[in-house]
Amino acid sequence: MLRIEKLTKRFGENVAVDAATLDVDKPSMIGIIGRSGAGKSTLLRMINRLTDSSEGRILFEGRDVTQLKGRDKRVWQADCAMIFQQFNLVPRLDVVSNVLHGTLNRHSTLATMFNMFPMDEIHRAIDILDRLGIAEHAPKRAEALSGGQQQRVAIARALMQDPRIILADEPIASLDPMNAQVVMQALRRIHEEDGRTVIANLHTLDTARRYCDRVVGMRDGRIVFDGLPEQLTTGVAREIYGADASFSEEATSTEIETLDATQKALMEAEATI
């Protein structure tokens, strides 16, 4: 179905993704883990063609999608819808219009500008929202919803494209544990009930173990682990995260998470000065 062959991305001297090879031969729910800077986002962005690869191939049902241009590329991008940590909704626009924007590629710019969508698509959008348990919020502005609700709107927008693959880049990193669970369960159901493949970058081991059939570990741009959740032992996790002997199973996610969050906050602070 999906085959990634020696996919590489270089940013100058830095190799963000280093000859990553991955085979998905049936609809799966895959979690990608690894510390900050391991190349997780870059890998997803290359699959979706938001970022061009430096080398390697991405084959979907035998066709190399790294070569697609124009309309074919947009069709592929709809086939592998992307979900982001920050939801990327239009905050002041109502929920249902945000969802309808998932069909953007199919309509004229003018129709989209005036939010004119066919009635059957409006119904479909509301059905999808209903399935995700948030239909009652359809007329509200996106910004009026909680984080977990907004992420479900983003999932609804992705589903509007009827994608074969859903790529989720840290979909629960900004959510509290309750909302995180609701969003992960929604992704799991979409995988199980619709047979769609979900590939999610996750920043905690326990989430990957709990919701995924397969876990991929990245370190320094390379795929260093690819196996079943139960094969992800503390020793393996330590190798993936490059932690020293003080690394403990319970501490894994939270410790690394806190470190990364602090690092990110510092970098963001630096960038704004």
Ligand X SMILES: Nc1ncnc2c1ncn2[C@@H]1O[C@H](COP(=O)(O)OP(=O)(O)OP(=O)(O)O)[C@@H](O)[C@H]1O
Using CB distances below 5 to 8 A depending on partner kind, what does residue 14 bind out of ligand X, Mg ion, none? Answer: ligand X
Q: Which does 105 bind (CB under 5 to 8 A by kind): Mg ion, ligand X, none?
A: none
Residue 41 in contact with ligand X, rule: CB under 6 A: yes
CB of 212 to ligand X, least distance (A): 17
Q: Which amino acid appears at position 1 of this protein?
A: M
CA atoms of 136 and 153, how far apart (whole Å): 12
Measured in degrees and rounded to the nearest 5, phi and psi for residue 253 equal -60, -50
Q: 20 vs 99, which CB is nearer to ligand X?
A: 20
Distance, CA of 98 to CA of 138 (rounded, Å): 9
Among 7, 18, 31, 40, binds ligand X (CB under 6 A): 40
- Count the residues of the shown chain that bind Mg ion, applying the rule CB under 5 A: 2
Q: Mark 223-256 as b/e (b = at least 16 C-beta within 10 Å).
A: bbbbeebeebeeeebbebbebeeebeeeebbeeb
Residue 171 is a binding residue for ligand X (CB under 6 A): no
- The nearer residue to ligand X, 121 or 260, going by C-beta atoms, is 260
d(CA 65, CA 69): 9
Q: At its nearest, how many Å lie between ligand X and the CB of residue 272?
A: 18
Taking CA atoms, 36 is separated from 9, 57, 81, 219, 252, in Å, by: 16, 24, 23, 9, 13
Three-class SS of residue 263?
A: helix
Minimum separation from the CB atom of position 236 to Mg ion (A): 21
**Residue 38 lies near ligand X (rule: CB under 6 A):** yes
Q: Is 39 among the residues that bind ligand X (CB under 6 A)?
A: yes
Quick one: which of 2, 4, 7, 16 contacts ligand X (CB under 6 A)?
A: 16
> What residue 56 binds from ligand X, Mg ion, none (CB within 5 to 8 A, per partner kind)?
none
Question: Of 31-39, 96-104, 112-120, 181-189, which part binds ligand X (CB under 6 A)?
Answer: 31-39
The correct pick among 11, 118, 189, 259 for binding ligand X (CB under 6 A) is: 11
49 touches ligand X (CB under 6 A): no
Dihedral angle over CA of 116, 87, 177, 188, nearest 10: 70
Q: Does 262 bind ligand X (CB under 6 A)?
A: no
Interaction of residue 252 with ligand X, rule CB under 6 A: no
- What residues between 31 and 70 interact with Mg ion by CB under 5 A? 40-41
Q: Is 56 in the site for ligand X (CB under 6 A)?
A: no
Q: Report the 10 Å Cβ neighbour count for 40.
A: 26
| Least Cβ distance, residue 263 to ligand X (angstroms) | 8
- Output the CA torsion 176→131→90→170 (10° steps): 40
Q: Which residues are within 8 A (CB) of 257 and not within 5 positions of it... i.e. 6 or more apart?
A: 203, 204
Which of 69, 93, 177, 180 lies closest to 142 in space, CA to CA? 93
In the complex, the residues that contact ligand X under the rule CB under 6 A are: 11, 14, 16, 34, 36-42
